[in-house]
Structure 1
Amino acid sequence: MSWNWVSIAVFVFVLAAGLFPSGFALASGDEKNAEKSSEIVFIPPEIGTPKDRMGAGTRTIPSDAASDLLLLVPADGGLTTLAFPPLIWRLTRGHRGNVIVKLNPIGTTATELHIMGPFPPGDYGLDLSRSSFMLDTDQVYLWQLELLDPNTDAVVERSSGLIERLPEEFRSDTPAAAGLWFDALSELVDIGLSGRVQATNPAVLEKFLNSAGVGP
């Protein structure tokens, strides 16, 4: 069979017509997925927040007004099904001194982790899976972070939040919509070995935080 340029052109057109629609569909699907991923909105849990289940006498959370320190957790605490949820905090203007992270079930002695500074402005995190600390189910934990003065080691800022781990059956493919704060957050951040946090999609992370009122 002989081929001329017209035949080749027709053949290429037909081949393209057979291939590109699926490509276009994939691109369209990617666009829809990207649009969907940008709509991660936190919905408060139907079963209530950790603060709702704190016992009498434990409702006062030690906390100072902190203009430069922000724990990335809702005011009434966050739920999770993860044994090692990501604990993320934001330093808007950085910090020259050291940091102390405290974590403990309500009413018990806190486990402390001292982290050496200085810290440039940005997001930082503690990956509990790299430590020996695992959250138990049906416990409300108090998470505190303290900034120390670089000269005296006195606490200059403090912020606190609540965490509660639920049993595995509460896990959801859409954790933000199910009110699982730390499960949803874990999909939006990556904690490096240095403790610096990189957002998988900064715009999506900020929208997620804003939807829960977490921010300035």
Structure 2
Amino acid sequence: MTSQNFNYIFQLSIENYHKHDHVDTPIQNPYPADSLEHLLYLKNWIDTVQWHLEDIIRDPQIDAQDALQIKRRIDRSNQERTDVVEYIDSWFLQKFKEVVPETEASINTESPAWAIDRLSILALKIYHMEIEANRPDATEVHKKACQQKLEILLAQREDLSIAIDQLLEDIARGIKYMKVYRQMKMYNDESLNPVLYQQKSK
């Protein structure tokens, strides 16, 4: 699989979400549960729902209790996002397990899955910026500014796609190697978040 496949899956997920455009829409993942495609679709669906939750919570008229519930939902979403990224990296670790890195092989600044995570977010930025660039009720100034931003985002996606393909090729050839650091998030851990463990000790 290449970045072209990743981008296609992300676009499919975004388009499927916007058929109903509601944060409580159940996911209908079209890919087999044990496949990389399934993980990629799930990853982008989580990102897409969270994108819209972030929009909702910024409503200045939102009820405080509703905002708190959404904030907690966003926290859970961030945890799910991290989990899925690590599942994707585990898939790549399995794929490349027989590759023997060269003596001078180097490590990348981020794992393949975290680079793909950025590609998923870019797909969302592009989708929504394109809407803004063509919004009928927007001013020409607004649409022109958004079109300029859209062109930058498209160039960024092209560059990142090339970089991801090159990284995966380099790992396959043993020029680079993967090293995954499992999540070190502290705020959800009752033994690491002082607000949580101090509550338990009272």
TM-score (norm 2): 0.25
Give the helix-richer structure, 1 or 2: 2
Rg comparison, structure with higher value: 1
TM-score of the superposed pair, with normalisation by structure 1: 0.24
| Structure whose residues are more often strand by fraction | 1
Which structure is richer in relative contact order (CA contacts within 8 A, separation 6 or more)?
1
